[in-house]
Amino acid sequence: MIRLPHSGVRVALAALTMIFVGSCAGLDPARIPPIETGSTQPRPGKVVWHDLLTEDPSAAQRFYSGLFGWTFRDLGPDRGQGYTVIEHEGRVIGGLVDARGIHRGINVSRWIPVLSIAEMDAAMATVRAGGGTVFQRPLDIPQRGTVAVVADPLGAVLTLLEPRDGDPVDRVAAPGDWLWNEIWSSDPEATLAFYQSLVPAYTVEAVGDDGAYRYLSSGGVPRVGVVQKPVDRIADTWMAYVRVSDPAAAAADSERLGGEILLPARENPRGGEVAILNDPSGAGFLVQSWDPDPEPTPAR
């Protein structure tokens, strides 16, 4: 997980912004697949998408294809940038942004989650009032809705989406699917309070004998974990989990494919195993094994 200085965050978000603007101005909207909503029901508080900023798109595609079986569909360059849709078993699950040449000397590679919200104007007011940062003001994206790129008051970066047609249905994650999301925070209490104000549908839940693991839930469904960041030197950040059958094997495969093992597979006290990995450009993520039957919250 590369720790970006504040200037590096701005460069990274500038890259994503150019893709958003380019999508509106130049890409044929018919080529941009809509998020598969399954219905018109919005689900505020749900992470519905993940965008990867990467300094090496070819290496990233080889890596994630070999590791998870993901496929990639290039939408073509626009305004000097490229956007590639990530698919898994025929479903669109994210996007890859070509960040080469955005800034020399700063590695901008990172995963950025897209969080569904109920109303963009209210969300912008909450971000500003709470001391967050607006990197990209709200703009309309064809077949998506209204998006804005922000950082919470402690610096964790995310994209907000007020969906046009609703959000994807909740489903059990299969191997290779996004499983869970966490916010690694320097002040979990402040983070919980901010996101409850950002998404009024959120409630705070706790699991474990001591209630030590807390997460935000909406509509009765666990959405986002909030934990004390494990290493002081890393910036506050969102971290995404992918479900795998064998985290140790996935970690070994990631090294073979050009990635890096940051934390080898270890037992999760609440079930399964987890490992922390970097892709070839340094974008961090976690892999987690999980039995969905005994526990409602996938990764803790």
Same domain assignment for residues 104 and 199: no
> Per the domain annotation, does 298 fall within a domain?
no
Residue 115 in domain: yes
| Contacts for 254 with CB less than 8 Å, ≥ 6 apart | 63, 67, 260, 261, 277, 279
In a domain, 37, yes or no: no
* Domain termination residue (choose one: 163, 193, 213): 163
Q: What is the pLDDT of residues 68-77, one digit of tens each?
A: 999 999 876 5
Residues 20 and 120 in one domain: yes
172 in a domain, yes or no? no
Note the pLDDT of residue 46.
97
Q: Is 19 within the bounds of a domain?
A: yes
pLDDT at res. 210: 78
The whole-chain average pLDDT of the chain stands at: 85
Beta-strand relationship, 157-163 and 110-116: parallel
Instruction: Please tell me the total count of domains within the chain.
Output: 2
- Separation CA 135–CA 48 (nearest Å): 20
Q: Which domain holds residue 98?
A: 6-32+42-163
Same structural domain, 251 and 139: no
- Range with the lowest mean pLDDT among 17-26, 54-63, 156-165, 179-188? 17-26
Is residue 146 located within the same domain as residue 75? yes
Greatest Cα pair distance, the chain, in angstroms, is 53
The answer to whether residues 108 and 99 touch, using CB atoms and an 8 Å cutoff, is yes
Q: Is the model more confident about 269 or about 32? A: 269
pLDDT above 80 (res 33) = no
- The domain that contains 228 carries what CATH number? 3.10.180.10
Going by C-alpha positions, the residue among 162, 158, 206, 160 that lies closest to residue 183 is 158
pLDDT band at 13 (very low <50, low <70, confident <90, very high): low
Q: Which residue, among 243, 281, 287, has the nearest Cα to 264 in the 3D structure?
A: 287
- Considering the domain architecture, whether residues 112 and 199 belong to the same structural domain is answered as no
pLDDT of residue 180: 96
* C-alpha–C-alpha distance, residues 135 and 133, integer Å: 6
In this structure, the strands spanning 145-151 and 157-163 are antiparallel
Residues 266 and 152 in one domain: no
pLDDT at 3 over 60: no
> In Å, what is the CA distance from 77 to each residue of 23, 24, 28, 104?
10, 13, 11, 20
- Same domain flag for 102 and 200: no
pLDDT at site 232 = 85
Structure tokens at 294: 């005994």
Q: Tens digits of per-residue pLDDT, 210-254?
A: 778 999 999 999 999 999 998 888 899 999 999 999 999 999 999
Asked if 61 and 138 sit in the same domain, the reply is: yes
Among residues of the chain, what percentage have pLDDT more than 70? 80
Q: What angle do CA 22, 17, 128 make, to 5 degrees?
A: 140
Same domain? 144 vs 204: no
Q: Give the separation between CA 168 and CA 36, rounded to whole angstroms.
A: 5
Q: Which of 163, 196, 213 is the last residue of a domain?
A: 163
24/156 same-domain check: yes
Last residue of a domain, one of 97, 128, 163: 163
Residues 117 and 191 placed together within one structural domain of the fold: no
Q: Model confidence over 56-107: pLDDT tens digits?
A: 999 999 999 999 999 999 876 554 456 899 999 989 999 998 888 665 667 7
Write out pLDDT tens, residues 257-300. Answer: 999 999 999 998 767 899 999 999 999 999 999 986 544 445 44
Rounded CA separation 158/126 (Å): 14
**Does one domain contain both 87 and 187?**
no
Domain assignment present for 170: no
- The amino acid at residue 293 is D
Question: Is a pLDDT exceeding 80 seen at residue 198?
Answer: yes
- For residue 140, CA distances in Å to 27, 40, 160, 167, 273 come to 13, 18, 12, 16, 40
pLDDT tens-digit readout, 122-151: 999 999 999 999 998 999 887 789 999 999
Determine, yes or no, domain membership for 145: yes
* Backbone torsions φ then ψ of 124, nearest 5 degrees: -65, -40
R_g of the chain, CA atoms, integer Å: 18
